[in-house]
Chains A and B, each alone.
Chain A
Amino acid sequence: MNTYSLMFAGVGGQGSLLIAEITSLAAVSAGYDTKQTEVHGVSQRGGSVETHVRFDQVAKVHSPIITPGEAFAVIGLEKLEALRFAHYVDPKNGTIFINDHELIPASVADAEKIYPHETVEYLKSMGLRVIVLPASKMARDLGDGRMANVVLLGALSTILPIPQDLWEKTIKLRIPAKYLEGNLKAYQAGKEMMS
């Protein structure tokens, strides 16, 4: 099986779709058959958003949807959303990347009290490979907290078989010029966290 299945999870507005899209296009540039799909509810913002990306170095990709238990990586831009999609990870060979960041759902009663703050410890106790990154903090230190998504993309890029130059080329294509410099730094910072 040469199919790489990646699950990007976040809250609407965090930019999980953007880094999924960059990953897909980088994989396409590398010559791999690729499919992507996004699942979201009716709202434009604030709801849970999941994006599935699958690429294959040899064969054709059939389903755009990932089956729970087969993801090579789950990329959670927020703790609760990482937990919501953590069961998609391949328990043997997969990795869960989690941004050390909590967004309390405003529309749930007593959400602050019942929020699963212990997500990381719990997933580790289940024997899963979890990598926690302070992506939001790192992005803020680089000047804009919204770049947390690209910090995670940098970390993810280190475990995927896509050449480095294609990542940078695709980021340059997708990110508007005035945000590019900061985002390239965010991407580098994410990569360095994994070295």
Chain B
Amino acid sequence: MLFAAEQFHEHGGTMREFLLGNEAIARGAWEAGVKFVSGYPGTPSTEIIETLAMRFPETNPRWSANEKVAFEEGMGAAIGGLRVLVTMKHVGLNVAADAFMVFPYSGTNGGFVVISADDPGMHSSQNEQDNRYLARVGKVPVLEPSDAQECHDFMIAGLELSEQFKSPVMLRTTTRLAHHKGLVEVGERREVEKKEFVRDAKRFSVPIYRLIRRPEVEKTLNALTAYAETCSFNRMEHNDNKSIGVVTSGIAYQYVKEVMPNAGVLRLGMTFPLPANLLREFCSQYETVYVIEEGEPFIEEYMRNLEIANLKGKEIFGLIGEYSPGRLRSALALGDPPKPFTEQVNLIPRPPMMCVGCGHRTVFAALKQLKVTVSGDIGCYTMGALPPYEAEHTTFCMGASIGVAVGLEQAGHEDTVAIIGDSTFIHSGIPPLIDAVYNKSHLTLVILDNSATGMTGSQQNPASGKNLLGEETPKLNLEAFCRATGVGSVEVVDTWQRKEIVNTIRRAIAYKGPSVVIARGPCNQLPEIKKRHVIPFIVEEELCTKCDACFKVWCPAITRTEQNFPVIAANECTSCTVCAQVCPTDAIKLAEAFA
């Protein structure tokens, strides 16, 4: 949840705010005169654009249909002369990679910064990918801040760097950086004059001219490499004791300062291109040098290629998961922190679950009942793979449900049903649906249409009929769209009508040809749904036979009384009616009807 920021005025006129790393990035973009912002929601990057929409709408922020579109819109705005910010999570950059890899060939006009929010530990991601490698492939410089203040400062400096070298710049954050709060000294917005756009096909167009541009990419990279040796992003903090030196970047720098206060430190704020001479000079002064970086050994491998001998790195700190001060202490044999109390008590897990009244439940109950193979996608509905449903059998990446279902069908698994949310369908489900029709698949696709990008916090999307700023926009007509692709059977069903859901999916599976079922009902986390007046359901104990059917709805609002009757939490019930539908004795009634 985002709050309006509190401001703290200090003597001497400085103003500080207590900000999330992501809020600090947003603030920095605003101060630097950014006039166009695009992105697609993705943890841990989402709050940047949410903050801009709430506090700084003059930056012209928007949610785009996917990261590739966001990146391309940003490229256009930047070569058109504006300062631009584009935001996405690490895997979002895979979607945008086509544009990301080619942009350095033309270079930018206005400053262009892309946020790659990496997720070590995979708190909310399908893989643990270190995007500094993508930047190296694309020859794009990378900045890595180490606290909220630097998130703000590097955002501003990144735009300046981008303009100085006419290169796109990647600002790489990680989950802890993006999702921690710290005090940030802030400034005011500075308007930046729009740069002139000159039509220049030799720079911006067609592959044949790319041969001319190719050497320019190397020239820029060489200039950036020279810059890296002396730039203020990289900083040496020497110590008189020359036994231990540390090369570090990102949030890991903070852990180093805490755990190894007496070590000499080379803090790299720019991790691509890397400064060979600076690294050699630093390492020559210390007996042993530790390389401490979250993610892959990106800096370490580079240093080993320089044949720097006195290094220790991933072999002691490890490759997988988030770093922490405790982890560094253990790795350095400074003592192991206490472990969770699990020996004499049962520390049972509390796994994530679908919300009270979530419209996905009925669909997963139906899929479980129909015993079909389910090819899933990215969204809250990945929880359908967990107990009690265990009715989602594959999940890979955005939009994969449809292509994977087509492939499974070709491998003889004709009982496969693909399942995808509205936002993910728009993001990358459209080409595979067209492909399925074109290649005569018998695909059955269920679109969970809750008019929101739910998992990241119910953001707006083209199926919501509203944009980021809450303005009305044309609502994508999913059923008309699916019919236009050539899908022969398209049915829309109320997602809370459990019997109808089962029957509709059954009909879709039996249909000879591609079919789509749209299970429709708004996400309960949408602000307008949360605000509405709800009459809760209650249990009339005199009619209840304690058959437990309502517990099989797995609604978190239903618990037991001491006498073992079900009881529905009145302040949580969303009045979705599903428990009342399953009750064989009609003991579950609207509170109003009971009165």
A positions within 8 Å CB-CB of B = 11, 17, 21, 24-25, 28-29, 33-48, 61-65, 67-70, 80-81, 83-84, 86-87, 91, 104-109, 111-112, 114-116, 118-119, 122-123, 126, 146, 173-174
Contact = CB atoms under 8 A, between A and B. Distances in A.
B386 A107 contact: yes
B220 interface: no
A37 B351 contact: no
B353 A47 contact: yes
Interface string B21-32: 000000000000
B345 A43 contact: no
B358 to A, nearest CB: 10
Interface residues of B, number: 55
Contact of B182 (A34, A47, A67, A122): A34
A63 B258 contact: yes
Interface in B374-389: 380, 382-383, 386-388
B18 A104 contact: no
Contacts of A105: 348-351
Nearest to A144: B571
A43 B258 contact: no
A115 B180 contact: no
B486 interface: no
Contact of B180 (A36, A67, A86, A114): A36
29 contacts: A34-B182, A35-B180, A35-B182, A37-B176, A37-B180, A37-B181, A39-B123, A41-B123, A42-B380, A43-B355, A43-B380, A44-B457, A45-B353, A45-B356, A48-B350, A62-B254, A63-B325, A64-B176, A67-B325, A67-B329, A70-B337, A105-B349, A105-B351, A108-B348, A115-B346, A116-B345, A119-B345, A122-B341, A122-B345
A86 B341 contact: yes
Nearest to A110: B348
A37 B243 CA distance: 33
Nearest to A89: B338
Given A62-B258, A126-B341, A107 B387 contact: yes
A58 to B, nearest CB: 14
Nearest to B330: A67
Interface string B176-189: 10011111000000
In the A-B complex, the 4 residue pairs with the smallest Cβ-Cβ separation, listed nearest first, are A43-B352, A37-B180, A64-B180, A68-B337
Given A84-B350, A107-B350, A116-B345, 11 more contacts: A29-B8, A43-B354, A47-B351, A65-B325, A65-B326, A87-B339, A105-B348, A105-B349, A111-B348, A114-B348, A115-B348
B3 interface: yes
A45 B455 CA distance: 11
A59 B554 CA distance: 49
Contact of A83 (B347, B353, B455): B347
B137 interface: no
Nearest to A41: B352
B179 A106 contact: no
A45 B355 contact: yes
B525 interface: yes
Contacts of B388: 107
Contacts of B325: 63, 65, 67
Contacts of B380: 42-43
A81 B340 CA distance: 11
Interface in B210-262: 254-255, 257-258
Nearest to A170: B6
Contacts of A106: 353, 554, 556, 559
Given A43-B353, A63-B258, A173-B6, A122 B344 contact: yes
Contacts of A107: 350-351, 353, 386-388, 554
B350 A108 contact: yes
A146 B569 CA distance: 13
A52 to B, nearest CB: 8
- Chain B binding site: helix, strand, loop or mixed by DSSP? loop
B324 interface: yes
Contact of A38 (B179, B258, B340, B347): B179
Contacts of A48: 349-350
B593 interface: no
A122 B182 CA distance: 36
Contact of A63 (B255, B346, B354, B554): B255
A70 B380 CA distance: 35
B410 interface: no
A114 B346 contact: yes
A8 to B, nearest CB: 13
A46 to B, nearest CB: 5
B1 interface: yes
Most chain A CB within a 10 A radius of its CB, from B179, B258, B348, B356: B348
A38 B1 CA distance: 11
B124 interface: yes
Nearest to A78: B350
B220 to A, nearest CB: 35
A21 B347 contact: no
B346 A91 contact: no
Interface in B2-48: 3, 6, 8, 18, 43
Contacts of A43: 352-355, 380, 383
A122 to B, nearest CB: 5
Most chain A CB within a 10 A radius of its CB, from B182, B324, B387: B182
Given A107-B386, A116-B346, A122-B345, A46 B340 contact: no
A121 to B, nearest CB: 10
Contacts of A41: 123-124, 351-352
A111 B147 CA distance: 40
Most chain B CB within a 10 A radius of its CB, from A35, A37, A91, A114: A37
Most chain A CB within a 10 A radius of its CB, from B1, B181, B257, B455: B181
Interface string B356-382: 100000000000000000000000101
B514 to A, nearest CB: 30
Contacts of B554: 106-107
A48 B386 CA distance: 16
Contacts of A44: 355, 457, 525
Nearest to B382: A42
